[in-house]
């Protein structure tokens, strides 16, 4: 190859390199222009999205507080109902005017409005095997609340309570909803008592309930639901609600669904934790 040919080849290579360099500069300039033009818009959109996220989080928090208030209200009216039952029991034993007059006249007092200690309606409720079957474990609910439903209830209230409990009874006579071992074996979540109690400074307060030989708190992690007051009854009502549509509000089903075993707990510690309830 002659010298002129070499010079021509070098010149062509230089032109090609200049063209490549020019295209690279144009590409960089275009990218920089897009960056400078769109960055402020994109940053504005990001700020708007962050604000929306914050608003939604606040709304979610408000909804959770509203939901908790609803369940607290439900607990209040259940307590009012229990109180009315106890009051009715006491007042039903009071003599009426005719009884007092008979007594003053030397007659044998017979109260016309007094409910016998074992009226047919209440006796039927407590002796019906369809009601008793599957509900021996509900005695734990009574132990928690310290407010059992007595035998000498007015017939209408006994029927109402029988109806409410009969809804939870298993269809097969004598078949229990859950045996104690099966319900206990399915409980896997645990928490240390010290972590739960946190020297009275826990963020969420939980009532500790005893079931069989264990100590438990009740919490729905799926919906972030806590049951601080009348825990077993509130959790049972919640279990049967539309969110879970559970088959029963009996304690084994409640423990299976929401139970968290409290490790390192005993009766003394449970009473200490439950002082505020």
**Which stretch of 60-64, 197-201, 242-246, 260-264 has the lowest confidence by average pLDDT?**
242-246
Residues 137 and 63 placed together within one structural domain of the fold: no
Split at pLDDT 50, 70, 90, the class of 242 is low
Question: In this predicted model, which residue has the larger pLDDT, 241 or 212?
Answer: 212
Is residue 93 situated within a structural domain? no
pLDDT at 71: 81
Q: Is residue 82 located within the same domain as residue 133?
A: no
Number of domains in the chain: 2
Q: Are residues 190 and 269 in the same domain?
A: yes
Tell me, yes or no, whether 100 lies in a domain. Answer: no
Q: To 5 degrees, how large is the angle CA 59–CA 60–CA 65?
A: 95
Q: Which of 17-21, 73-77, 119-123 has the highest mean pLDDT?
A: 17-21
Mean pLDDT of the chain: 72
Q: Do 45 and 169 reside in the same domain of the chain?
A: no
Q: Is the pLDDT of residue 193 over 50?
A: yes
Q: pLDDT digits over 6-42, tens only?
A: 888 888 898 999 999 999 999 999 999 999 999 999 9
Q: Is residue 154 part of a domain?
A: yes
Within-domain flag for 128: yes
Q: Are residues 82 and 127 in the same domain?
A: no
162 with 78, same domain: the answer is no
| Domain presence at residue 41 | yes
Judge whether 173 and 246 are in contact, CB under 8 Å. no
Residue 143 is part of which domain span? 115-276
Q: Per residue in 163-177, pLDDT tens? A: 444 444 444 333 333
Tell me, yes or no, whether 168 and 203 share the same domain. yes
pLDDT band with cut points at 50, 70 and 90 for residue 243: low
Check whether residue 181 and residue 254 sit in a common domain: yes
């Amino acid at each position: 190859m002659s010298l002129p040919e070499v010079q021509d080849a070098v010149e062509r290579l230089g032109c090609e390199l200049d063209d490549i360099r020019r295209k690279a500069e144009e590409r960089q300039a275009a990218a920089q222009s897009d960056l400078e033009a769109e960055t402020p818009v994109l940053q504005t959109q990001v700020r708007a999205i962050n604000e929306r996220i914050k608003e939604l989080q606040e709304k979610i928090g408000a909804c959770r507080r509203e939901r908790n208030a609803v369940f607290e209200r439900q607990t209040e009216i259940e307590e009012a109902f229990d109180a009315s039952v106890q009051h009715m029991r006491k007042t039903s034993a009071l003599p009426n005017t005719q009884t007092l007059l008979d007594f003053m006249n030397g007659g044998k007092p017979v109260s016309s409005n007094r409910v016998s200690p074992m009226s047919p309606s209440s006796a039927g409720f407590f002796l019906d095997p369809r009601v008793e079957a599957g509900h021996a474990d509900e005695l734990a609910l009574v132990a928690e609340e310290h407010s059992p439903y007595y035998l000498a209830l007015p017939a209408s209230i006994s029927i109402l309570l029988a109806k409410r409990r009969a809804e939870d009874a298993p269809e097969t006579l004598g078949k229990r909803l859950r045996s104690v071992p099966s319900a206990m074996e399915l409980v896997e979540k645990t928490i240390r008592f010290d972590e739960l109690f946190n020297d009275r400074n826990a963020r969420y307060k939980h009532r500790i309930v005893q079931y069989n030989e264990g100590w438990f708190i009740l919490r729905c992690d799926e919906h972030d639901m806590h049951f601080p007051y009348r825990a077993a009854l509130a959790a049972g009502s919640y279990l049967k609600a539309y969110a879970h549509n559970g088959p029963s509000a009996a304690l084994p089903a409640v423990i299976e669904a929401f139970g968290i075993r409290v490790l390192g707990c005993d009766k003394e510690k449970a009473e200490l934790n439950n002082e505020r309830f």
